[in-house]
Amino acid sequence: MANNALSTVTVWSADPAALARVQAQVAPRGASRRAPASAFSLEAVVPSGMDLDAWDRERAVEMWGTARPETDATLEEAGPDRLVYRLATAYAPPYAALQALTAAHPDVVVHAVTTCESEYASTAWFVRGTVVGEEERELDLTDEQWEEWDGEWDLPASWSFAAARARDLGE
């Protein structure tokens, strides 16, 4: 079983103020043992109130779509129409948290592409609390392929973020 799901999460909006509101919401609150240098906190998006010493995995999966808080989260790009985050989560992408984020901010569209070590990759769009166009594929490698793998997946071009698609979905 894979341990790390790495997601590129693009938050798009034609309204820079909407992006600023999202960036403020996802920012970690105070000092955290979860991801000290984090730029994106699942707890800030959907508060669990749980302590890491008394963790409820099933509740976390229900709230966030993943079993544990993010282990790393960076803001890779902040542009006039998008914020691009890179998140590391346990076992699965945080799709439930991204649904909640777009429900709370209906003027943004979110796109995510996730790879989970050598097991699977997925992509989805999130609009007003709804998942749109979710796709997943297995990434099983043979032992020989694993030894030669360069660490990059050749994912379908249609899985890439496209501002035109985001604009259409947001209308």
| Class of residue 52 by CB neighbours under 10 A (exposed 0-12, middle 13-18, buried 19+) | exposed
Contact 136, 122 (CB under 8 A): yes
Tokens standing for 104? 């709370």
Nearest to 92 by CA among 64, 50, 72, 125: 64
pLDDT at 2: 55
pLDDT at 30: 63
- φ, ψ (nearest 5 deg) of residue 15: -105, 105
Contact 67, 2 (CB under 8 A): no
Dist CA 139 CA 115 (whole Å): 9
Dist CA 130 CA 87 (whole Å): 20
Dist CA 125 CA 69 (whole Å): 21
Residues in the chain: 171
- The 3-state DSSP class for residue 160 equals coil
pLDDT in single tens digits along all 171 residues of the chain: 457 899 999 999 999 999 999 999 999 876 444 545 689 999 999 999 888 778 899 999 999 999 888 989 999 999 999 999 999 998 899 999 999 999 999 999 999 999 887 678 899 999 999 999 899 988 777 777 767 766 677 788 899 999 999 999 998
Beta pairing class for 120-127 and 130-138: antiparallel
Dist CA 70 CA 158 (whole Å): 26
pLDDT at 156: 83
Residue type, 50: M
